[in-house]
Amino acid sequence: ARLLASAPAAIAITCTTALQARSARGMVAAIRGEPALARCVVLLGGHLVLDVPQLPTQLGADGGACDGPLLGTMLRGLLARQQPAAV
């Protein structure tokens, strides 16, 4: 309830091992299925992304990276694309 009330611009999920991939997919699906989070950017990070770079999009996330600085750069780019164009 608090998450929905805060209307986050982004949610990051960590996925360190292959065993966590199924849970991460379920979390992404739950976020995508919640109307209040429709505009929320979903990112996947963690060591597993280093081994399988395409994993974030395969699990339904908007993107992902294996470390914080790369994830931050990706997030800034994705949020910038969501901004309405200046008139």
- Dump pLDDT digits (tens) for 4-18: 777 899 999 999 898
Q: pTM of the entire structure?
A: 0.83
The helix/strand/coil state of 63 is: strand
For the chain, what is the total number of helices (H) and then of strands (E)?
5, 3
- Residue 24 in this model has a pLDDT that exceeds 60: yes
Would you tell me how many other CB atoms lie within 10 Å of the CB of residue 73? Answer: 11
Half-sphere exposure of 81 (CA within 13 A, CB side): 9
Question: Other C-beta atoms within 10 Å of 27: how many?
Answer: 19
User: What is residue 11's predicted lDDT score, i.e. its pLDDT?
Assistant: 94
Classify residue 57 by its DSSP letter: H
Would you state the structure tokens that stand for residue 19, as one six-digit string? 């065993």
